[in-house]
Amino acid sequence: MNLVRHFIGGRWTDAANGGEYPNHDPWSGAVLATVAAGDAEDARRAIDAAHEAFPGWAGSLPGQRQAVFLRAAEILARRREEVRALLTAETGCGHHFANVQLDFSLSLLRQAAALPYQSTGQILPSDVAGTTAVAVRRPVGVVGAIAPWNSSLVLGGRAIVGPLALGNTVVLKPSEESPTSGGTIWAEIFAEAGLPAGALNVVTHAPGDAGAIGAELIADPRVRRINFTGSTVTGRRLAEQAGRHLKRVVLQLSGQNPLIVLADADLDHAVDAATYGAFVHQGQVCMCARRIYVEDRIAEPFVARFAAKVATLPTGDPADPATVIGPVINKWSLSLLTRRVEEAVAAGARVLAGGAPVPPCYPATVLTEVPADAELAFDETFGPVVVLEIVADADEAVRRANQSRFGLTAAVLTGDPQRGVAIARRLEAGIVHVNDQPVNDEPQMPFGGVKESGWGRFGIGFAADDFTETQWLTTRDSPRAFPF
């Protein structure tokens, strides 16, 4: 039996309270690992270690830090097949999306290796004679990182790699569903790569116990920043707590992402893009299309082809490379999908494809004529269910797209890229793709949302705004004359 323990101060350790919990494979239901069920005490120990490691790591030479990230990339590349299998076993992630996660993570590490050599400041002109004034960017100290299970390797990785490369130390709390692929695998890789003990710490916990660790990270004054990727419900709770402590948080939260198909779009491309964008990783990506708005003039052929294609997506064992729709993460998720689809149908929605669970999977599902007050219509539903509605024109599509309280990603499919860009400018979303579907990410891009999808940006280069502190520093060459 696999044992997953905390990684604190460079050592693998049990939970202080001795607690453990079983983590399950979402496809087979088998117990994959026994995991340390930590609490606030473990978080405190991890913060102690990160705080102690901070001066050493922040003061290390850029070449030393660069070498760690380059070695980490080599180690991940070497362990690629093992990590891919781990993503499948732990989170039901299929071959394609596991490869997406691995490629992103390798690029993230390689790009992070250049960060220590980026300029850390500016010289500022001053009207006080004899003054040298500079703005110097400095690491903040300990960063608390809270990540979800759905793209566990990527979201755990981006929560720690940018902050570490900027000279901070980190306490990572992965999801209870992905303690290894979103947490301890990173600790193993960085320990082998030579990251000093204490610079990265990982604290795991049983389902339902995240709150105690999150609260400790927020309340401890030595933790200077929090980054969080997850649901808007949890993000709001964390932001409220963080407000009390005047602690800055980066929040990447839920999306209810629109994909607009205009009448001048290439039909085959639109069908393929919509299918991928709604159903990659069984719809369990925050960027997935949840609402498709199709212009009336193209609706008939689009709906027929899209529904036919969706109905044939292979569903089942995520270890089979042919599978597109693997299991959803857990029984709770399956029952939420089932309930929301049933409620929408009872309220008048029509099923165009799928529509009923095949445990532990939920087949790819398309609904239309979903009433505006059905949860599927307005809330993020994390799984392979998409709502398709026909609109009169682009203006109606934009209006309905913007009605959401969320604003993470959006996509516009049109034969006229210039028109697409004009529409993109009207969309209330942190990320818009023209002539593509909404699921895209590269480590150097500013990733984040507007409205209730959060604030702050992940992304090498952009993360510096959130994970460094700018100090204004002056020196005077000669004494100043003071008025009194």
Which residues of this protein are in contact with ligand ADP, per CB under 6 A? 146-148, 150, 173, 175-176, 210-211, 214, 230-231, 234, 237-238
- Describe the crossing of helices 80-91 and 62-78 by its angle, rounded to 10 degrees: 70
Q: Which of residues 146 and 390 has its CB atom nearest to ligand ADP in the complex?
A: 146
CB closest to ligand ADP, residue no: 214
Shortest approach of ligand ADP to residue 184 CB, angstroms? 14
Nearer to ligand ADP, 137 or 340 (CB): 340
3-state secondary structure of 157: helix
* Under 8 Å between Cβ of 210 and 238: no
Task: CB nearer to ligand ADP: give 38 or 139.
Answer: 38
CB of 413 to ligand ADP, least distance (A): 28
Q: How far is the CB of 116 from ligand ADP (least distance, A)?
A: 28
Strands (E), 380-436: 385-391, 406-407, 409-413, 431-434
Q: Which is nearer to ligand ADP, 302 or 378 (CB)?
A: 378
Residue 242 or residue 391: which is nearer to ligand ADP going by CB?
Answer: 242
- Comparing CB distances to ligand ADP, the nearer of 329 and 361 is 329
Judge if the upstream peptide bond of residue 360 is cis by omega within 30 degrees of 0. Answer: yes
* 418 burial via Cβ count (<10 Å: 0-12, 13-18, 19+): exposed
User: Least distance from C-beta 286 to ligand ADP, angstroms?
Assistant: 8
Q: Is 308 helix (H, G, I), strand (E, B) or coil?
A: helix
Q: Are 368 and 393 in contact (CB under 8 A)?
A: no
Question: What is the Cα–Cα distance from 5 to 11, expressed in whole angstroms?
Answer: 9
Tell me the C-alpha distance between 286 and 125, whole Å: 44
Smallest distance from ligand ADP to CB 380, Å: 9
Please choose, from the candidates 275, 267, 228, the residue with its C-alpha nearest in 3D space to the C-alpha of residue 386: 275
Shortest distance in whole angstroms from residue 155 CB to ligand ADP: 9
- Supply the minimum distance, in Å, between the C-beta of residue 211 and ligand ADP: 4
Task: Encode burial over 378-413: b for 16+ CB neighbours within 10 A, e otherwise.
Answer: bbbbbbbbbbbbbbeebebbbebbeebebbbbbbbb
Of 238 and 411, CB closest to ligand ADP: 238
Supply the minimum distance, in Å, between the C-beta of residue 8 and ligand ADP: 18
Decide whether 146 or 408 has the Cβ nearer to ligand ADP. Answer: 146
Q: For the chain, what's the residue count?
A: 484
Element (H, E) at 104: helix 95-112
Please name which of 372, 367, 368 lies closest in space to residue 356, comparing C-alpha atoms.
367
166, 311, 328, 397, 434 from 324: Cα distances, Å? 38, 12, 12, 29, 24
Find the shortest distance in angstroms from Cβ 237 to ligand ADP: 5
Q: Which residue has the tokens 């903040």?
A: 140
